Every structure is written in C-alpha cells, then in structure tokens.
Amino acid sequence: MSTYLPKEVQEGLDAARLAAMKKSSRLRVHVGDEVFRVLRMWKDGFAVEESITPKLRGLVNLYEGTNHLYQCLIVGTEVEAGEMHYEFKRATAVADRPALDFYRAPDAPVALLGHDAA
C-alpha cells in the first residue's frame, strides 16, 4: 500500500489541522502592540501559523486568555507544515507578587496585631 498523498490532498489536510488548532488554542503571543495566536506549546517552545505571523525574535509575552504566563526570549528554529516553530532561550514565569528576598517560614503569621490603648 502506498502512503503517497497528492499535493492538493496534503494541503487540504494541513489547512484543516491548522484550523482545528486555531479554534482550540487560547494561547497568544504578544509582541509590542501586536497579538498572534499560538497553535501549540511544548516544554521548550511553541508554534504559530507561518503565513500570517511575521518573523518573531527577542522578547515576547505569552498569555492564556487574559492570564500572563511567561516573559520569553525566543529564536525561530524551523518551518514545518505551515507552522513556524520557536524555541525559548529563556522563559520566566510571571508571578502575581514580587519575589521575596528572605525566607518565609510556612507557619509565619500573616500580620501582626497592635495593642489598643483604650
């Protein structure tokens, strides 16, 4: 049995696969004021649609919906089946509070109560 597909059939299958990934993904990459949909993401990179996304490089921000996930330095690696793949040089998770510069004991009090001079 042959595994060869005509070019038109392969292009149709690739277009259908990209459309399904675009519908299911909530991930976005923000570059300045521009926003592009991320088709899929893995441990050390992500993929965007090659035909509508310009070549990206440098500092970008990754969001899932409105949640800011990572601030990343990226570099483009390859184009495969209509997807442009990017690898992280650095991916720093965004925290909702500033980093502590001291050790906080797990049983430490949350706040101190003052004495009322009544």
42-98 pLDDT, tens per residue?
999 999 988 888 888 899 999 988 889 999 999 988 888 788 999 999 998 888 777
| CATH code for the domain in which residue 65 is found | 2.40.10.430
Is there a domain that residue 85 lies in?
yes
pLDDT at 118 over 60: no
Is there a domain that residue 71 lies in?
yes
Count Cα neighbours of 43 within 13 Å in the Cβ-side half-sphere.
0
Average pLDDT of the chain to the nearest whole number: 83
Number of domains, the chain: 1
User: pTM of the full predicted structure?
Assistant: 0.65
Please give the Cα distance from 1 to 55 (Å, whole number).
39
Residue range of the domain that includes 68: 26-93
Is there a domain that residue 4 lies in?
no
Phi, psi of 79 (to 5 degrees): -110, 130
Please give the Cα distance from 107 to 118 (Å, whole number).
31
Cβ-based neighbour number of residue 104 at 10 Å: 7
Please give the Cα distance from 39 to 18 (Å, whole number).
8
